[in-house]
Amino acid sequence: MKRIAFWSAAVMMLWAIAAQAQTESHPAESQKLFRGEVSDSQCALNVHSLTRSHQEMLKSKSMGGTATSCSLYCIKNLGGEVVLSSAKTVYRLDKQDAVREFLGQKAKITGTLDPKTKTIHVEKIEVEVQP
């Protein structure tokens, strides 16, 4: 009887460990809605901007006269990537080519977030209409 109880407990413990490992390696991802400006990582992460925006670059007109042209310049010439800048958080975006057309615009992105890399796996993106 003790053997059966011991092996039952051992099997239950192994099953619980396996279930926990499965959950940690494949966390349940649910789609969320993210809002912000589609920008470039150079401006959004203060690489050459003091305000986490295009403000300084637009004043100097050294990288174009719009947020879109500034982002395109930073991506092409300075190694930036397309990101979503939302308040004080900057998210990387996968599908760089698909989201590039939204540069400089406020957008709503539906997708899943990889919290380790702060990357949004984009399912849907649309321009956010301002009231």
What string of H, E and C letters represents the secondary structure of 87-127?
Answer: CCEEEEECCHHHHHHHCCCEEEEEEEEECCCCEEEEEEEEE
Domain ranges, residue 102: 29-127
Q: How many domains does the chain have?
A: 1
- Lookup: tokens for 19: 């279930």
Coil, helix or strand for 44? helix
Could you tell me which residue, 53 or 82, shows the higher pLDDT? 82
What amino acid occupies position 4?
I
pTM for the structure as a whole: 0.69
Q: Is the pLDDT of residue 57 over 90?
A: no
d(CA 46, CA 56): 11
State the chain's mean pLDDT as an integer.
79
Strand positions, DSSP E, 1-87: 32-40, 82-86
Exposure of 103 by Cβ count < 10 A (0-12 exposed, 13-18 middle, 19+ buried)?
Answer: buried
- Could you tell me if residue 57 is inside a domain? yes
- Could you tell me if residue 99 is inside a domain? yes
- Could you tell me if residue 4 is inside a domain? no
pLDDT in tens, 21-44: 544 444 556 899 999 999 999 888
Q: In the prediction, which pLDDT does 122 show?
A: 96
Residues 6+ apart with CB under 8 A from 10: none
- Could you tell me if residue 35 is inside a domain? yes
Q: In the prediction, which pLDDT does 74 show?
A: 86
- Could you tell me if residue 88 is inside a domain? yes
Q: What percent of the chain has pLDDT over 70?
A: 64
- Could you tell me if residue 19 is inside a domain? no
> Picking from 22-26, 82-86, 96-100, which range would have the lowest pLDDT averaged per residue?
22-26
- Lookup: tokens for 12: 């239950």
- Could you tell me if residue 71 is inside a domain? yes
- Could you tell me if residue 117 is inside a domain? yes
What amino acid occupies position 116?
K
